[in-house]
Chains A and B, each alone.
Chain A
Amino acid sequence: MLTHNENKNRFALLALSVFSFTVMAYGYRYLSTAFCGDAALISQQGEELYQVSLGRFLQPVYWQIRGHIIAPFLVGLFSTAFNVLSCWLISRILQIRRTISLILLGGLVSVNEVFTVSNITYLPWTDVYSLSLLLMCAGVYCFFRFRFGFLASTVLFTAGLALYQSYLSAASTLFILAFLVRLLSGTKPREIWMQGLLAVGVLAASLFLYKFALAAVLDLMHIEASWEYNGVARVNDLTPEKFLSLLPSAYTMPLLFHFSPGGRQVIYSHYALIPRPVNWLLLILCAFLLLRRLRGMKPGGILTAGFLILVLPFSMNFIMIIASGTVNGLMIYAYFLPYLFPLMLWDHDETPRLLTLSAVSLPVLCLVLLINIWCANTLTLKRDLEFQSTLSIMSRVLERAEDLEGYVPGETPVLIDGILNATRMTMERKGYETIRQMQGAWYTVSAAYESAMNWYLMHILGERMNLVPYRQRQKVLDTLDVSALEAYPSEKCVRIIDGYLVLKI
C-alpha cells in the first residue's frame, strides 16, 4: 500500500510526463491555427443533433463545459488534463510503480497515432476522445477497486460510449492486461476466470444500457439514428451470419496492422506508422519474458495466461463487429495499449537477469515515442503550410467571384463546383511521402472537400457569402447548365447562371 505522499509524488511524475510528451508532440499543433478538414468547422453550434444521431449524445453536454468554439489550445488543455487522469488510473490498474515506467506510461498513453490523426484533422474531437478514454479507465479502475465497482463500471462505460463508441475496446484491452498482471503477481486462475466473466458481463451490460439510453434520447429529441458510415443505425443490422463473417477480420486486423509487412494498409485510409521490425522486436522480447515468467506456474495459470494472450487481439478490435466492419484511424486507440505490456513486464520483474533483458524494451519504447513525436510535428508543419496556401488560393478565387458584375455579397447564392484538393492549383508537397498515407494526411489544402470549403469560408475567412448548403449543392448544380464554365484559373471559371453565382474550381 502506498502512502499519501508516495501517491502524490507518483501523480506529479505522471502529470509531468504527460505534459512533457504532449508539449513535444502536439505543442506546435495546439499553439497554431492549422485547421484542416473537419476541424474547419470551428464552431459546433448547430451540430448537436447530428452528433446525437451518430450516437454520441453526451458530446453536446460536454460542449457546455468546453464551449462549442474549437480553440486549439483549449482542446489541448482539456485533453492533457484528461490524459493525466487516465494515466494515473492505468498506473493503478496495471500496478506500475517504477519511475521510468511511469514516465514512459505518460508518453505511450498520450502520444500515439490516434491522437496524431485526431489533432491534425479532427481537432474538435481530440478532447472528447480523451474524456471517453478517461471514463473507460475509470470504469476498469472501479471494477477492480470496489466490491460493487462493476455497477459504477457499467455506468462509466455507457457514458464513455455516449461520447465516442470505439473506446470500449480500450476498456476490454485494459481488462486483459490487468488480468495478466494479476495472474503474474500470484492471483489464482480461478479468481481471474470469475472476474473475467464478470468483466464480459459488465461490457455487455454497458452496451445494452447504451442502446436503451440512446433510443430514449433519440425518441426524446425526435430524431433518427444516422445511417452514415459512422452512424449507429447500422448496428441494428448485425445478424449472427454477419457476426461470424466479420469475426476473422476483427481478430486478425490488429495483428496484421502491427506485424504484417504487406499489411500497412489493413485499415481503410490509414497506414501504420511504427516500422514492423520495431513491433517484432517488442513481440519477441515480450514472448520470451512471458514464457520465462510462466515457467514456474501451475498448468491452470499457464492456460489462463495463454487464453488471455489469445483473446487480446479480439479485445482490441471487437468494436469493429458492432460497427458493421467499419474501422478507421480514429477507432484504433486500443491497438496501442499492448505497448504497455513490455513496460508491465519490466516493472513487475524482480529477477536481476530478466530485469536486464526486459530493460531492452525501454529504449525500443522510447523509439516508438520518438517516431510518434516526429510524425506529429511533421504533420502539423504540413497542416500549417497548407493553411497558409489555402488562404492564398481562396483569396484569389474569391477575387474572381467578387469582381463579377451583378454579384452582391451576402445576397447572391453562391455555388462552388469542385473541390480544391483536386485542382491544378495544389500539389503534393515533397518530403511527406512516409506519412501522407495516414488518415487525413493526404489532403493538400485546409478546405479539402465540399463541406470543409463552406466551413472554411464562413468560419476561417469570415466571408459574407450566401453559400448554398453543401448537402444541396449537387442537386442545384444538376438543374443548371454549367457546360460553358471552365475550371479556375480560366477566365470562364465564374458566371452568374439563373441567379446563382457558379464558381468552377
Chain B
Amino acid sequence: MRFLGYSKQTLLRAVLFFLLVYSAAHAFCFFNLTFANQSVILNSNNGFGERIASGQYLQGIYFRLRGGLASPFFIGLLSGCCLLGACLLLGDTLGLHEPLWICSLIFCVVLHPALLTLHVNELIFSDATSMAILLLAAGIWMSLRRGRIRLLCIPLLTVSLALEPVHLPLMVVILLLRVLREVQRDTLNPAHLGFSLLMCLLAVPLYFAGLMFFSRHFAIEIEAALQNPLSVSQGLLGPFVDYLHQASFYPRLAFLLRLALLAAALVCFAARTRPGRRLPSLLAVVLVIAALYIPPFRSRYHVTLTYNAMAVDLLLLMLFALSFPTVLPWQRIAAATVLCTLGTGFVVFANQLYLKINLEYSSTLSLYTRILDRLESTPGYVPGSTPVAIMGDPSRCPVILHRTDFVHLDVIEGAKPDLILTDENQTVWYLWAILGYPANLVSEFEKDQILASSEYERMEIFPRTGCCRFIGDKLVVRISE
C-alpha cells in the first residue's frame, strides 16, 4: 500500500523524523510563554485590519475559525500538522519518495530560520503561515493531477496567497523544479505542465481581486510594500549568500558545509546528466535560478527570514535527488552526517533563542511589576479610573541589561531586544492581555500632547524618584529617553 507515492515504511520514517526535528528545535517554544513582539496582543483577532493592509486578508477569517486565543502548544500542534502535510505533498510533487530525500526536505522546512522568525515575532499568527504553505503545496500538487479536479488548485493557491502572499516566488520555483524533474526523466509533457503553470498563475489575479474587495469593503489602505513589490532587491548573488549564511550555532562550519553542498550538487548534476538531456536540464536550472529573483509581494522581514529563502535548498535537494536515483549506504551515511551537523547547529541556536525570549518574559514581568508599584504608590491614583500614560520605549529603559552572551543570535530579526516588548505601543497589550491589569491608558493623541509638554521634559526617567507624577489629570511614568 502506498500513500502519496510513499511506501508505508518511508511514510513512517518521514513522520517520525518530522516529529523528532520539529520537537527538538521548537518544543521549548510551544511549552512556555514565549509571547514576544507582535504576539503580546495575544488575541489574533485583534490585528484584523492590519492583516488586510499587509495583504493577508484571509488570516482574519482563519483566526475566527481557529479561535482568536490559542495556547503556544495548540499553535505548535496546528503548525506541525500543516508543515508535515506540506512536506509530504511537496515530496510527492518533486518525486522525493526515497527516505533520504523526503527527510532532507523535512529538514529544510522545519529547521529553517523562517519558522524561528515567525515564532519569535508573531507566534500567535505563525500557524496561518504554515497553513499557507500547506495550501501552496496542496495547490501545486492538485494542479498536476489529471481531469477536472486539477481546477481545485486555483482556489487552493488563492487562499494560500491570501493567507501569506510572500510565498509567490516559492510557488514558481516549485513548479519549475517539477519541470526540471520531468526533463531529466524524459517525461515532460509541455501541454500538461504548461496548463498547470497557467492555472497556478491564475491564482495571482484572483488574489489581488480579493485584496481589492477586502480593502474597499473594510476601507483599509494597503501597505506600500504590497503596492510596489519591485522595491525589494537582493542583488545578483543575494539568494546564494543568504543560503550560505543561515542561522546556526556553528556559523563557519555551516557556511563551509553549505558551500560544499552547493558545489557537490552542481558537480554531481553536471556529471550524472546524460549528454542528450544537458541543454534542456541546464535551461530548466537557469529558469529556477531566475525565479529566485522574483520579488515577494510583501516582506515584513528580510527575505532570508521567509520561506522564499528555502528555494535554494530545494534546488540543491532536487539536483542531488536527480543525480542519485538510488542511494548507496555510504552516500546515506555521508548525507546523514551533514544533516546531523547542520541540524545540531540549528537546534542549539533555536533553543538558545527561545530561552532568551523566555528570560525576557521574566525581565518584562519584573520591570512592569515595579512600574505598576510606582503607579499604585502615587497618592491619588485609582486603578482603572485614573488615566495613565507609560511613556518611552521599554527596551531602552536604563535598568535593562543588554544580554551580551546572546549577541550571536542577533542574525534573527526580533532576537535583538532585551524585553518582549519592542515598541511603546505594545505596552497597552502587555498590560491588558498578559498582565490583565485594568489600566486606563491614554490615547496616542494624548500621549503626543504629554510628549510636547514642558512638564514631561523636566521629568526624571525610571527608576529615579520623580519618574512618576501627575501632569494634569493624567498619571505619567517616563521609562526611557
Interface residue ranges, A against B (CB under 8 Å): 31-33, 42-43, 45, 65-74, 77, 391-392, 394-396, 398-399, 402-403, 405, 407, 409-410, 458-465
Task: Check if B363 sits within 8 Å of A73, measured CB to CB.
Answer: no
B354 in contact (CB, < 8 A) = yes
Q: Does chain A have a CB within 8 A of B57?
A: no
Count of A-B contacts judged by CB separation below 8 Å: 108
Contact residues on B (Cβ < 8 Å of other chain), bracket? 35 or more
User: Cβ of B370 and Cβ of A402 under 8 Å apart?
Assistant: yes
Q: How far is the CA of A409 from the CA of B399 in the complex (A)?
A: 6
In contact, A395 and B370 (Cβ under 8 angstroms)? yes
Given contacts A33-B32, A69-B405, A74-B351, contact A461 B463 (CB under 8 A): no
A409: chain B residues within 8 A (beta carbon): 398-399, 463
Query: Is the CB–CB distance between A74 and B347 below 8 Å?
Result: yes
Q: Are B463 and A462 in contact (CB under 8 A)?
A: no
Nearest-CB distance from B103 to chain A (Å)? 16
With both chains docked as a complex, state the minimum distance between the C-beta of A120 and any C-beta of chain B, in angstroms. Answer: 17
Q: Are A31 and B28 in contact (CB under 8 A)?
A: yes
Apart from A31-B31, A43-B405, A73-B28, what 9 extra A-B contacts exist at CB < 8 Å? A33-B362, A42-B359, A65-B344, A67-B348, A69-B352, A74-B347, A77-B347, A407-B463, A462-B418
Q: Tell me the smallest distance from the CB of B458 to a CB of chain A, in Å.
A: 17
Q: Known contacts A31-B31, A462-B400; is A395 also within 8 Å of B355 by CB?
A: no
B residues neighboring A (CB under 8 Å): 24, 27-28, 31-32, 249, 344, 347-348, 351-352, 354-355, 358-360, 362-363, 365-366, 369-370, 373-374, 398-401, 403, 405-406, 418, 462-465
Within 8 Å CB of A462, what residues of B?
359-360, 363, 400-401, 403, 418
Q: How far is the CB of B362 from chain A (nearest CB, A)?
A: 6
Give 23 pairs: A residue, B residue, CB < 8 Å, sorted on A: A31-B27, A31-B32, A32-B31, A33-B32, A33-B355, A43-B405, A69-B352, A69-B405, A71-B348, A72-B28, A395-B369, A396-B373, A399-B374, A403-B463, A405-B465, A407-B464, A409-B399, A410-B401, A459-B405, A462-B359, A462-B363, A463-B401, A464-B398
- Of the candidates A45, A77, A394, the one having the most CB atoms from chain B within 10 angstroms of its own CB is A77
Give the residue name and chain of the A residue nearest to B353 (CB): A71
Which residues does chain B contribute within 8 Å of A65, judged by CB atoms?
344
Least distance between A504 CB and chain B CB atoms (Å): 19
Which residues on B sit within 8 Å (CB–CB) of A45? 405
In the assembled complex, the Cα of A399 lies from the Cα of B375 at a distance in Å of 12
Shortest C-beta distance, B11 to chain A (Å), equals 17
Q: Which of B352, B366, B400, B465 has the most CB of A within 10 A?
A: B366
**Which residues of chain A have C-beta atoms less than 8 A from B347's C-beta?**
74, 77
Closest residue of A by beta carbon distance from B358: A33
Q: Which 10 A-B pairs have the closest CB atoms?
A: A402-B463, A43-B405, A71-B351, A73-B28, A31-B31, A74-B351, A464-B401, A462-B363, A71-B355, A395-B369
Given A77-B347, A395-B370, A68 and B405 contact (CB-CB distance below 8 Å): yes
Asked if B352 and A74 sit within 8 Å, CB to CB, the answer is: yes
A72 to B465 Cα, complex, angstroms: 38
Asked whether A410 lies within 8 Å of B398 as measured between CB atoms, the reply is yes
Query: What is the distance, in angstroms, from A36's C-beta to the closest C-beta of chain B?
Result: 14
Query: Which of B351, B363, B370, B465: most chain A Cβ within 10 A?
Result: B351
Q: Is the CB of A464 within 8 A of B400?
A: yes
Q: How far is the CB of B347 from chain A (nearest CB, A)?
A: 7
Q: Is the CB of A398 within 8 A of B366?
A: yes
* Assembly CA distance A77 to B249 (angstroms): 16
Which of A391, A407, A459 interacts with B365 by CB under 8 Å? A391
| Alpha-carbon distance A407/B464, docked complex (angstroms) | 7
B370 x A399 contact (CB < 8 A) = yes
Q: Are B27 and A73 in contact (CB under 8 A)?
A: yes
Which residues of A are found within 8 Å of B366, using beta-carbon distances?
A: 391, 394-395, 398, 461, 463
By beta carbon, the residue of chain A nearest B406 is A69
Q: Which residues of A contact B355 (CB under 8 A)?
A: 33, 42, 69-72
Q: Does A461 contact B363, Cβ atoms closer than 8 Å?
A: yes
Docked Cα-Cα span, A460 to B405, in Å, equals: 12
- A66-B348, A462-B403 known; A398 and B363 CB under 8 Å? no
Distance, CA A463 to CA B373, complexed state (A):
17
With A69-B406, A73-B351 known to touch, is A399 a contact of B401 (CB < 8 Å)? no
A401's nearest neighbour on chain B, judged by CB, is: B463
Q: Quick one: closest B residue to A392, CB to CB?
A: B369
Measured in the bound complex, the distance between the Cα atoms of B398 and A397 in whole Å is 17
Kindly report which residue of chain B lies nearest to residue A64, judged by CB atoms: B250
The CA of A11 and the CA of B240, in the complex, are separated in Å by: 40
Chain A proximity of B286: nearest CB distance (Å): 40
In contact, A74 and B348 (Cβ under 8 angstroms): yes
A409 to B367, CA, bound (A): 13
A399 vs B372: C-alpha distance when bound (angstroms): 11
Chain B residue numbers with a CB within 8 Å of A460 are: 359, 362-363
Complex Cα distance, B27 from A70, in Å, reads: 16
CB-CB under 8 A from B405, the residues of chain A are 42-43, 45, 68-69, 459
Minimal beta-carbon separation of A51 from chain B (angstroms): 16
In the complex, what distance in Å separates the CA atom of A167 from the CA atom of B401?
Answer: 39
A33 and B359 within 8 A (CB)? yes
